[in-house]
Structure 1
């Protein structure tokens, strides 16, 4: 077995992956990939519809995305993929706030549809968002993978690969809540909401292209499990191995537990 190094190209099932030297190099490559997909979608159909993940691990990618030239953002509709129930848009940990600061303001897409999870009826909000997602084909989802192997907030042993819904209210896994504290979004676990609205696994797999950006050593175990664990809801990200349109962008740290 050979060690995985920068420049390695891997496959697992139908999923492809590339390894880059650093998070910055990964971010630039993912930004180029996103820009190309958006340009092609707009050229072919006059618009692009894109789902974008939030979180610290996505910052190298979205910062590089702002430097891509000649991207027709004026023809792009953006969705995000999850939000804490009960969090106001002004809360420092709000994913709506993250999208506004990192996507809406610098890129100025034609439309951004936010999950309004501070509503008194999160179930109705999930249904409203699902209707928006289903209005037209989706071109690209820009995913991450959580430390526990979740995608969006589809948690281990809770994720449903055949869910008929595209958005629903879920209970957050304890490790997911701890990750939010460790990333500096909340002072302690008790401050992290117990529920969130998330796009389901079928919604995340619906777009024509699936881009998965996973830098940092803290994600290495989840990445290794994505490649080697049985495909099951125990590690939700394993479903990516069955997607020929899925491509992972890894750095040397997140790929540290992989071998060729």
Structure 2
């Protein structure tokens, strides 16, 4: 990585381009999982989906990861969307993680469950069954984490999985990424892991490339910490690390001292 600095206690690493960021994040993920497997015999990781995470996840193919000892979770799914839908996060995990890497166990959120509230309960129970070692997440264009939206995200939520309403900003992002043809086609609700679930892991890795994320990155790193910008809550986690590229860091000032 070309530049490194710290915001509060969180290391921020800036790579020259998306490929450099993906490689550095993949190496970090592999090291964390190897360490946890060596210490405990197994590891548990939550993996974000979406276009911005593809280069990082695919870069894991070049890393030594003890997948046969790793249990994988994902962090959200649209209510009412089946796992064969092009926008399904279950489909993404199956294609990008399950099939190429063969983890020991993959736990999927069922967006078509007849009782979404009961599905939240089921998934939360799986998450709480043992410590989560690593969360690999991104940041939304409005600063959301998973689908925890600004001013709604609750750092003190007692739940680890719940049904959430998606803002128009988040729904438009899904259209812009090519997952749905128009806003009307994007579901209004999703099952999402909550902020305490995401920040409950020992290590939280945020991979945030692309210029479209630059405003959210600036708000997260230079503004106050609070639920108005869920990504800013990463600064409260002692094991968080943020990977940026030049484009996503483009609205930060040019020196470490200015950040």
Normalised by the length of structure 1, the TM-score is: 0.96
Query: What SS does the corresponding residue of 2:63 show, helix, strand or coil?
Result: coil
Match of 2:170 among 152, 168, 176: 176
Give the structure 1 partner of residue 115 of structure 2: 121
1:49 aligned residue (44, 57, 62) = 44
Cα deviation per residue 1:221-254 (whole Å; 9 max; x = unaligned)?
0000000121111111111111121000000000
1:210 aligns with 2:222: no
Q: Distance in 2 between matches of 1:10 and 1:192?
A: 38
* Structure 2 counterpart SS, 1:133: helix
- The alignment status of 1:241 with 2:231, answered yes or no, reads no
Q: In the TM superposition, what is the alpha-carbon distance from 1:68 to its structure 2 partner? A: 1.0
In 2: Cα distance, 1:175 partner to 1:216 partner: 17
Number of aligned residue pairs: 254
Alignment of 1:128-139 (within 5 A): 128-139=122-133
Q: Distance in 2 between matches of 1:206 and 1:106?
A: 27
Within a 5 Å distance, the mapping from 1:75-224 to structure 2 comes to 75-224=69-218
2:252 is equivalent to residue 252 of structure 1: no
> 1:98 Cα shift?
0.2
**Which consecutive aligned stretches of 4+ in structure 1 deviate over 4 angstroms post-superposition?**
none
2:3 is aligned to 8
Gaps in structure 2 of 5+ consecutive residues: none
- Mapped partners of 2:179, 2:88: distance in 1: 9
Could you tell me which residue of structure 1 aligns to residue 23 of structure 2?
A: 28
Offset, 1:10 = 2.0
SS state at 2:91 partner: helix
Q: Distance in 2 between matches of 1:131 and 1:145?
A: 25
> Displacement of 1:11 after TM fit?
1.6
What's the TM-score, normalizing by structure 2? Answer: 0.97
**Aligned partners of 1:187 and 1:123: how far apart in 2?**
28
Partners in 2 of 1:23 and 1:140 — Cα distance? Answer: 21
Q: How far, CA to CA, are the matches of 1:256 and 1:59 in structure 2?
A: 21
Structure 1, unaligned runs of 5 or more: 1-5
2:62 is matched with 67
Measure, in 2, the Cα distance between the counterparts of 1:15 and 1:253. 20
CA distances 1:196-218 after superposition (whole Å, capped 9, x unpaired): 00000000001111100000000
Counterpart CA distance in 1 for 2:58 and 2:66 is 17
